[in-house]
Chain A
Amino acid sequence: MRSSGLVFGLIIGLAIAAILIKAANKDGKLKTKYDERQEAVRGKAYKYSFYTLLFFDVLRIIPESGNLLTGISSFYISLFGILLGCFVLCVHSIWNGAYWGLNNNKRTYFIIFIFATVINALPVIGCLSSGGKISFNEDLSPMTNLMVIVWLALIGVVALIKKMITPKEENGEG
């Protein structure tokens, strides 16, 4: 029952994401367009992301066999791996100016990021305000949302640092 709910939730989530992406792209298309340099950078980013995930999966075999992560549900270990892989992809793309596509509306994407943060913050706030505890033991608990919030915040920090360290002449006029 719980897995069917999870699958249903994933389908709904993907549908909402598709609608939001279409709305956020200037040409109303689902596919984000990148130029040749961005495609090359993103190709490398996907490669690094893949290797990170592979390395993480190899690492997780070791402590699991020794029962070192008994307090943490395997759901969160897998989620951490996915978020870590996506983090590598995003950071490499941001750092090399290949995160934003040619048809992306940055302002709309920024609103979507804020919306995603708020949506994920609601269960966390609800749980804490009702005196609940956020732990790694129960699958699909507010810990999932908390991990996503931290992930979004880290991506935001990286984007901010990149913007700050980019020379002024490069940032605007060249």
Chain B
Amino acid sequence: MKNLKLKSARAAKDLSQEQLADLCGVSRQTISSIEKGDYNPTINLCISICKALGKTLDELFWEDDTAG
């Protein structure tokens, strides 16, 4: 499942995938894979991303319960 929250949070900070990747110490392809939902990051990387974007884990990685 695509992580649109991450993509919009990154865009809100006016950061490119490359810039966010540099801040988190990972490759650009890894950020791209997370946004596309192709890769599930470890909790350590999730925390790094949250710190770089000034968001909480819930805000970026908690899926909304749409099932009711």
- Establish whether residues B7 and A174, one from each chain, have CB atoms under 8 Å apart when the complex forms: yes
CA A172 to CA B18, docked complex, whole Å: 8
Residues from chain A with a CB closer than 8 A to the CB of B41 are: 36-37
Q: Which residue of A lies closest to B32 (CB)?
A: A170
CA A38 to CA B27, docked complex, whole Å: 8
By secondary structure, the A interface counts as loop
> Which residue of the partner chain, among B18, B30, B44, contacts A37 with CB atoms under 8 Å?
B30
Residues of chain A at interface, number, CB under 8 A: 14
Residues of chain B at interface, number, CB under 8 A: 20
Which B12-61 residues have C-beta < 8 A from chain A?
16-18, 25-33, 35, 39, 41-42, 44-45
- Establish whether residues A37 and B39, one from each chain, have CB atoms under 8 Å apart when the complex forms: yes
CA A37 to CA B39, docked complex, whole Å: 7
Task: Enumerate chain B interface residues (CB-CB to A < 8 A).
Answer: 7, 10, 16-18, 25-33, 35, 39, 41-42, 44-45
